[in-house]
């Protein structure tokens, strides 16, 4: 009889992760990718001031990080015009989502999300014994009204919405989000993922009282600030809920150099402005490449573009596989009808040049394979 035994909830779960990393795929291929355009990383990189700050901090990496993230927390509070006790720093939005689910969801309680939305949130819900109820996208976007209706019907504890959205890049105007808040049932908490907020038009970002106990918002340094590997995210929410994170979080989970780099990045407004410009130009370039190959780029308020392949999910998967053979790492939505698209991250000219060169060949091979199937 083995001594090893999993607890009841994880014992029922598959040994999977929401995403297979490009590094694992490169090990399978036996060679690096030519262009890394699948993980919505910011290929334009972090602020040079952030890099310099982290290099200066490197000799003191023998020290633990400040468990309160005091300097970064206060800087973010000033940046957003809220109190420091409305801010919680954590190991990326992914880590904070896990803490939120653990903090607020009892086993057997219901969570509402969109079918095809960010899967890491679902992963945490399953890991803590929650019950997922999903509603379909509408017109390639999450459907706030349907989410609220499902929350009412299922007595949902949490309701997840990303604005702008991953994987489609779509976005809702701020009044639609605030209207959704007004319709939320008593006892439900809106989990508003704003990972791509810095790329969105101003009219997409609602002005919400940080003490509003109907919502918690999440932001990150992984996207616009180009620091995905540093794992720095933060939540904005009512002080009572934010204080609750201290009951369960890993108080020494933050990386000291990442804290210092994020603070420097936040203060470099010129770099953020230039990054936004480069991302906008990159979105236009991806749209041009798609158009030249008979495909359609969907409007995007993020640092990626969903490209409609004009067929079904089976064809899009073939196309992704052929792109991978040619050294292009990309991903696609997992759920129909969005899976007719592939998702291309914005990146430097060299990466998009490689994508533009590979795409016609990959398309032809995918079309040939479809005819032979």
306-333 tens-digit pLDDT = 999 999 999 999 999 999 999 999 999 9
| 19-45+270-372 CATH pick, 3.90.1150.10, 3.40.30.10, 3.40.50.150, 3.30.365.10 | 3.90.1150.10
pLDDT for residue 228: 97
pLDDT for residue 2: 74
Residue in 309, 313, 300 with CA at minimum distance from that of residue 362: 309
Strand 215-220, strand 35-36: pairing: unpaired
Peptide bond into 217 cis (omega under 30): no
Q: Which residues contact 174 (CB under 8 A, 6 or more apart)?
A: 203, 204, 205, 206, 207
Secondary structure of residue 187 in the 3-state scheme: coil
Low-confidence ranges of the chain (pLDDT < 70): 1, 373
pLDDT for residue 372: 79
pLDDT for residue 347: 97
Would you list the DSSP string of 210-267?
A: TT-TTEEEEEESSSTTS-GGG--EEEE--HHHHHHGGGTS-TT-S-HHHHHHHHHHHH
CA-CA distance, 185 to 152, in Å (whole number)? 6
pLDDT for residue 348: 97
Token couple for 125: 């819900």
Measured over the CA atoms of residue 226, residue 227, residue 228 and residue 233, the dihedral's sign is: negative
CA-CA distance, 92 to 234, in Å (whole number)? 7
Domains 19-45+270-372 and 48-267 share a fold: no
pLDDT for residue 18: 79
pLDDT for residue 370: 86
Residue in 42, 49, 80, 53 with CA at minimum distance from that of residue 276: 42
CA-CA distance, 158 to 161, in Å (whole number)? 10
Residue in 265, 210, 211 with CA at minimum distance from that of residue 75: 265
Residue in 291, 293, 282 with CA at minimum distance from that of residue 351: 282
Assess if CATH 3.90.170.10 describes domain 48-267: no
pLDDT for residue 3: 83
Q: Where are the domains of the chain?
A: 19-45+270-372, 48-267
pLDDT for residue 1: 58
């Amino acid at each position: 009889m083995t001594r090893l035994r999993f607890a009841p909830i994880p014992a029922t779960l598959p040994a999977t992760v929401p995403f297979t990393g490009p590094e694992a795929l490169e090990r399978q291929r036996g060679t690096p990718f030519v262009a890394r355009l699948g993980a919505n990383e910011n290929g334009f990189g972090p602020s040079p001031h952030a890099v310099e700050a982290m290099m200066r901090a490197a000799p003191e990496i023998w020290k633990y990080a400040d468990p309160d993230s005091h300097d970064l927390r206060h800087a973010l509070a000033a940046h957003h015009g809220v109190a420091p006790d409305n801010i919680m720093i954590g190991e990326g939005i992914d880590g904070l989502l896990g803490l939120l689910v653990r903090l607020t969801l009892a086993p057997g309680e219901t969570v509402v999300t969109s079918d095809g939305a960010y899967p890491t949130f679902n992963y945490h819900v399953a890991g803590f014994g929650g019950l997922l109820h999903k509603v379909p996208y509408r017109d390639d976007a999450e459907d706030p009204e349907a989410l609220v209706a499902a929350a009412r019907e299922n007595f949902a504890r949490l309701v997840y919405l990303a604005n702008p959205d991953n994987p489609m890049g779509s976005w809702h105007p701020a009044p639609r989000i605030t209207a959704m808040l007004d319709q939320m049932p008593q006892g439900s908490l809106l989990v508003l993922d704003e990972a791509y907020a810095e790329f969105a038009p101003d009219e997409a970002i609602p002005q919400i009282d940080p003490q509003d106990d109907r919502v918690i918002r999440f932001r990150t340094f992984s996207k616009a600030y180009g620091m995905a590997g540093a794992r720095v995210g933060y939540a904005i929410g009512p002080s009572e809920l934010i204080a609750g994170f201290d009951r369960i979080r890993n108080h020494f989970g933050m990386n000291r150099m990442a804290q210092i780099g994020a603070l420097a990045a936040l203060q470099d407004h010129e770099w953020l402005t230039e990054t936004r410009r480069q991302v906008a130009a990159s979105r236009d370039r991806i749209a041009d490449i798609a158009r030249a190959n008979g495909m359609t780029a969907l409007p995007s308020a993020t640092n990626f573009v969903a490209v409609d392949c004009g067929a079904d999910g089976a064809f899009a998967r073939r196309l992704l596989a052929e792109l991978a053979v040619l050294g292009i790492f990309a991903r696609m939505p997992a759920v129909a009808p969005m899976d007719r698209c592939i998702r291309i991250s914005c990146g430097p000219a060299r990466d998009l040049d490689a994508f533009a060169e590979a795409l016609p060949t990959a398309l032809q091979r995918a079309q040939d394979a479809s005819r032979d199937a």
